């Protein structure tokens, strides 16, 4: 009894100690500086521009991240072709002049680039630091030996060469399109990507946490140090702490391991993505010499050959989307606010997973997936040694694949959201016996750095004997792209294997455009070289009725995946439309039709099919619009959930009650058009759940401006997205309105992009005007540094139709 009491008191004291210890307000010693500001840029090649005294006074000044391709004009003649977005590529140089204070002389100073497309070469004060061909990889250079301090400036020069084309099957962007930072550390410090946190044992009661820390001693002295790591919960309270001592020889690297235990851990999952962090401090003679934070989410997951995926012991279907890296009108620019909006739109649809196709992602995407509760499949490559297009990564394969794959894993392995490593997408070597050894080599590279996540590959060949990547026996999880009708045989064909639909659907839609499915099911022809019998205006119907011949409609595919427990889940190709790959159309089509959401971020109708299936929200979505020719037969579809039936009315008269039968995912009516109002009512047990009305709209008379937030940070990064709706005098959306909308921004803001989501729109994303497309468009605004309220005015035909909105500066 007494012993127990003592034990309890000890526990209580340790808890109190732990809770207070973290409140210490020791100042960070590691400095991480934003290095994006005030670069000079010039398109073209300047063989002497690495020299410190090279004159760049007439070069443009800009802030990173920057993508020069998105600033250009569309043309079918650009070497990247419409598949690459029909935008210019080429070569460009960036230069930045900066001073460092004398007190930084004894430090170790590193520059970190999150991504440069492509073939970047970096010089500091004329010294060559290196080249990284892969446009999606993050990298760093140690600058210490070449820096100037005090009055004498430093010059960093970066050459970017994206001239060899085509080198991508989609729009890549060109330039330093992700963030750059400068890191100032002491001689004894935690190395670049120098921590690795894992949770080898997790239960409701407790979690074991394992931390590896790679220490780097760049001094000429052997050192003894103390390593103190604390786990801090989301309320910023320390819940566990380990302190250890070790020594390291001069000019050496050493890995230290620390183990922790957390009682009653809060688990990370997609509904409550609870995040801890590990704060690591290095002391030399009780002086703090480095501090470093590692994200930590405590979760366990499993892929099962029969039951599919589970997270923290709970079965869960993966409801995923593939996403390319571009952010529409911003091009390849990696912007946290843009990515957050993209992921928010996906989450609202019910998405719980992202496949980053087909390359290493931005850092921000993974941070946001950690915070928002989205599972990630991180993917390394779209090609190995065998090319897909002339100048793609196959040229770099031999020299770079090991380093690039290692760097991807080292950078991303601390993110709780990352649960799968994909070593490739539709890799040609699956058809070739060289695939066996290559797969084993790549899996081994990943496993040497991280054994906690399954390694997968997105395959297309599903005849086991013919697929050499599968034959390697090295994959933990088989990813299959498309061919949903073949899934039924998989348990037989791939006995005991864990399976995910790594890519599916490839349906095509233009937002707001409707060809009646009862009249014309426009299907993709069954071979590549037969032209698609499409529409003259390069549109594809937004009823879920057209898909690539290798794919399926959204409904067909989801019905199959839903019915098979052994398929862990699926990734739709794609969540958003993206720049490039405009199949099935030729130029002027220049962006893809595959998205559930258009390039501007505006949902297509099928978004609500997923919402009705993948969320518990009450959904009733009725379409199309109600502006048709008198007497025309119109297919009216409704997606709904949480209800038994939907009744449709035309001008007050019932057109009948429908309910989904068997595995139906929508209900429909064929309605001879009469202008007026269609109204849908969903009911459960006779009670009304939702009602939706669509009215025949008149001519454009008003503009509605809808902002995604009311205020903006004054930091050059935050963005406000404003959706513009063209309305008639009764506030109905005018469904085919294509008026030119002119924007004017005054006060503390400026326009960074416009878009209307139309795949064949050739006007500039960087203009201050755009035509509405099917009644809608967007304008994207950021602050300009002035502490003034931002006022946006949108107008049609001079002052005939005007609307305005204010955005506050935070």
Task: Catalog residues that contact ligand GAL under the rule CB under 6 A.
Answer: 169, 425-426, 481, 503, 506, 548, 573, 581
Angle in degrees, 0-180, between the axes of helices 607-614 and 336-349, rounded to the nearest 10: 60
C-alpha–C-alpha distance, residues 461 and 423, integer Å: 16
Q: Give kind and range of the element (H or E) at residue 637.
A: strand 633-640
CB atoms inside a 10 Å sphere around CB 531: 9
Hey, what are 756's tokens?
């209307």
> Please, which residue, 154 or 168, has the CB nearer to ligand GAL?
168
The answer to whether residues 510 and 759 touch, using CB atoms and an 8 Å cutoff, is yes
Residue with token string 């760093």: 140
The answer to whether residues 450 and 411 touch, using CB atoms and an 8 Å cutoff, is no
What SS3 class is residue 549? coil
The answer to whether residues 81 and 103 touch, using CB atoms and an 8 Å cutoff, is no
Which one from 112, 461, 503, 647 is the annotated catalytic residue?
503
> Please, which residue, 169 or 590, has the CB nearer to ligand GAL?
169
Count Cβ atoms within 10 A of the Cβ of residue 309 and give its class: 0-12 exposed, 13-18 middle, 19 or more buried.
buried
Closest separation in Å from C-beta 609 to ligand GAL: 19
What is the Cβ-side half-sphere exposure of residue 502, based on CA atoms within 13 angstroms?
A: 28
> Could you tell me the sign of the dihedral formed by the alpha carbons of 47, 48, 50, 54, in that order?
negative
> Please, which residue, 217 or 504, has the CB nearer to ligand GAL?
504
> Please, which residue, 446 or 508, has the CB nearer to ligand GAL?
508
The answer to whether residues 439 and 401 touch, using CB atoms and an 8 Å cutoff, is no
> Please, which residue, 238 or 506, has the CB nearer to ligand GAL?
506
Closest separation in Å from C-beta 341 to ligand GAL: 23
Strand pairing partners for 795? 742, 802
Hey, what are 27's tokens?
């100042």
> Please, which residue, 169 or 317, has the CB nearer to ligand GAL?
169
C-alpha–C-alpha distance, residues 785 and 788, integer Å: 9
What SS3 class is residue 673? coil
Q: Tell me, what DSSP letter sits at residue 70?
A: G
DSSP conformation letters of 231-281: EE-TTS-EEEEEEEEEEE-TTEEEEEEEEEEEESPPPB-SSSB--EEEEEE
Closest separation in Å from C-beta 481 to ligand GAL: 6
Hey, what are 120's tokens?
């970047």
> Please, which residue, 326 or 581, has the CB nearer to ligand GAL?
581
Please name which of 51, 39, 40, 152 lies closest in space to residue 104, comparing C-alpha atoms. Answer: 152
> Please, which residue, 428 or 742, has the CB nearer to ligand GAL?
428
Closest separation in Å from C-beta 389 to ligand GAL: 11
Please name which of 759, 755, 750, 678 lies closest in space to residue 724, comparing C-alpha atoms. Answer: 755
C-alpha–C-alpha distance, residues 315 and 307, integer Å: 8
Closest separation in Å from C-beta 382 to ligand GAL: 7
> Please, which residue, 167 or 506, has the CB nearer to ligand GAL?
506
Q: Which residue is nearest to ligand GAL (CB)?
A: 506
> Please, which residue, 169 or 178, has the CB nearer to ligand GAL?
169
Closest separation in Å from C-beta 557 to ligand GAL: 12
Beta-sheet strands, E only, within 64-205: 90-98, 108-113, 120-124, 127-132, 139-142, 154-162, 180-185, 188-202
> Please, which residue, 477 or 648, has the CB nearer to ligand GAL?
477
Count Cβ atoms within 10 A of the Cβ of residue 687 and give its class: 0-12 exposed, 13-18 middle, 19 or more buried.
exposed
Helices (H), 124-210: none
C-alpha distances out from residue 17 to 238, 240, 287, 575, 645, Å: 9, 10, 21, 47, 59
Closest separation in Å from C-beta 426 to ligand GAL: 5
Please name which of 585, 753, 349 lies closest in space to residue 594, comparing C-alpha atoms. Answer: 585
Angle in degrees, 0-180, between the axes of helices 363-372 and 336-349, rounded to the nearest 10: 40
> Please, which residue, 85 or 194, has the CB nearer to ligand GAL?
85
Beta-sheet strands, E only, within 324-452: 353-356, 375-379, 418-425
Closest separation in Å from C-beta 623 to ligand GAL: 24
Closest separation in Å from C-beta 322 to ligand GAL: 7
Closest separation in Å from C-beta 760 to ligand GAL: 18
Hey, what are 83's tokens?
């598949």
What is the Cβ-side half-sphere exposure of residue 364, based on CA atoms within 13 angstroms?
A: 21
Hey, what are 48's tokens?
């002497």
C-alpha–C-alpha distance, residues 91 and 162, integer Å: 6
Closest separation in Å from C-beta 592 to ligand GAL: 8
Which one from 426, 429, 509, 613 is the annotated catalytic residue?
426
Beta-sheet strands, E only, within 114-175: 120-124, 127-132, 139-142, 154-162
Closest separation in Å from C-beta 506 to ligand GAL: 4
Q: Give kind and range of the element (H or E) at residue 341.
A: helix 336-349
What SS3 class is residue 499? strand
C-alpha–C-alpha distance, residues 621 and 543, integer Å: 12
Mark whether 503 is an active-site residue.
Answer: yes
> Please, which residue, 170 or 639, has the CB nearer to ligand GAL?
170
Residue with token string 């957390």: 262
Closest separation in Å from C-beta 573 to ligand GAL: 5
Q: Which residues are catalytic?
A: 426, 503
């Amino acid at each position: 009894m007494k012993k127990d009491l003592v034990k309890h008191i000890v526990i209580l004291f340790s808890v109190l100690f732990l809770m207070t210890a973290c409140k210490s307000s020791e100042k960070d010693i590691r400095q991480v500086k934003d290095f994006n500001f005030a670069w000079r840029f010039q398109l073209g090649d300047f063989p002497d521009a690495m020299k410190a005294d090279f004159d760049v006074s007439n070069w443009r000044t800009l802030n990173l991240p920057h993508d020069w391709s998105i600033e250009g004009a569309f043309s079918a003649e650009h070497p990247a072709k419409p598949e690459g977005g029909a935008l210019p590529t080429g070569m460009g140089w960036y230069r930045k002049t900066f001073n460092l204070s004398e007190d930084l002389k004894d430090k170790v100073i590193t520059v970190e680039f999150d991504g440069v497309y492509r073939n970047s070469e970096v010089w500091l004060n004329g010294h060559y630091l290196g080249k990284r061909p892969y446009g999606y990889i993050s990298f760093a250079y140690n600058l210490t030996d070449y820096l100037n301090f005090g009055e004498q400036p430093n010059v960093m020069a970066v050459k970017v060469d994206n001239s060899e084309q085509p080198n991508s099957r989609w729009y890549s962007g060109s330039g330093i399109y992700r963030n750059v930072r400068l890191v100032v550390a002491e001689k004894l410090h935690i190395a670049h990507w120098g921590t690795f946190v894992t949770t080898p044992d997790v239960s409701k009661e407790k979690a074991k946490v394992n931390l590896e820390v790679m220490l780097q001693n760049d001094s000429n002295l052997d050192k003894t140090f103390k390593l103190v790591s604390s786990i801090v919960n989301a309320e910023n309270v320390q819940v566990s702490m380990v302190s250890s001592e070790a020594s390291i020889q001069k000019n050496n690297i050493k890995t230290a391991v620390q183990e922790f235990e957390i009682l009653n851990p809060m688990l990370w999952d997609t509904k409550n993505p609870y995040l801890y962090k590990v704060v690591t401090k290095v002391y030399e003679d009780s002086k703090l010499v480095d501090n470093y934070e590692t994200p930590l989410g405590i979760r366990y997951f499993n892929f099962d050959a029969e039951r599919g995926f589970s997270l923290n012991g709970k079965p869960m279907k993966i409801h995923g989307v593939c996403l390319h890296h571009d952010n529409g009108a911003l091009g390849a620019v990696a912007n946290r606010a843009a990515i957050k909006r993209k992921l928010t739109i996906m989450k609202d649809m019910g998405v719980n997973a992202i496949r980053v196709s087909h390359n290493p992602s931005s850092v921000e995407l993974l941070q946001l997936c950690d915070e928002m509760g989205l599972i990630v499949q991180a993917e390394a490559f779209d090609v190995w040694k065998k090319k897909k297009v002339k100048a793609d990564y196959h040229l770099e394969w031999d020299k770079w694949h090991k380093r690039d794959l290692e760097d991807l894993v080292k950078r991303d392995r601390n993110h709780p959201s990352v649960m799968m490593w994909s070593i490739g997408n539709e890799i040609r070597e699956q058809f070739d016996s060289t695939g066996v050894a290559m797969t084993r080599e790549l899996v081994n590279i990943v496993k040497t750095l991280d054994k906690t996540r399954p390694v997968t590959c997105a395959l297309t060949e599903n005849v086991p004997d013919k697929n050499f990547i599968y034959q390697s026996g090295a994959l933990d999880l088989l990813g299959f792209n498309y061919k949903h009708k073949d899934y039924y045989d998989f348990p037989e064909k791939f006995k005991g294997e864990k399976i995910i639909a790594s890519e599916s659907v490839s349906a095509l839609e233009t937002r707001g455009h409707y060809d009646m499915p009862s009249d014309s099911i426009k299907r993709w022809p069954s071979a590549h070289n037969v032209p698609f019998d499409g529409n003259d205006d390069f549109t594809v119907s937004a009823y879920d009725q057209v898909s690539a011949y290798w794919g399926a409609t959204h409904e067909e595919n989801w019905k199959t995946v839903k019915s098979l427990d052994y398929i862990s889940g699926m990734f739709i190709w794609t969540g958003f439309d993206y720049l490039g790959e405009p199949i099935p159309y030729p130029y002027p089509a220049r962006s893809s039709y595959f998205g559930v959401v258009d390039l501007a971020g505006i949902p297509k109708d099928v978004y609500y099919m997923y919402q009705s299936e993948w969320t518990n929200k009450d959904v009733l979505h009725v379409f199309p619009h109600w502006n048709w020719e008198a007497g025309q037969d119109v297919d009216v579809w409704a997606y709904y959930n949480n209800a038994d039936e939907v009744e449709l009315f035309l001008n007050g008269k019932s057109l009948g009650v429908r309910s989904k039968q068997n595995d139906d995912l929508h209900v429909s009516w064929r309605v001879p058009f009469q202008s007026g109002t269609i109204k849908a009512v969903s009911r459960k047990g006779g009670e009304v759940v939702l009602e939706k009305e669509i009215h025949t709209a008149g001519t454009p008379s008003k503009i509605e401006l809808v902002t995604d937030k009311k205020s903006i940070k004054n930091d050059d990064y935050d963005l406000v997205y404003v959706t513009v709706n063209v309305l008639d005098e009764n506030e109905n959306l005018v469904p085919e309105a294509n008026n030119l909308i002119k924007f004017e921004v005054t006060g503390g803001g400026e326009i960074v992009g416009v878009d209307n989501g139309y795949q064949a729109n050739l006007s500039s994303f960087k203009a201050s005007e755009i035509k509405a497309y099917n009644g809608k468009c967007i304008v994207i605004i950021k602050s300009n540094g002035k502490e003034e309220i931002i006022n946006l005015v949108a107008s049609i035909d001079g002052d005939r139709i005007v609307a305005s909105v204010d955005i506050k500066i935070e």
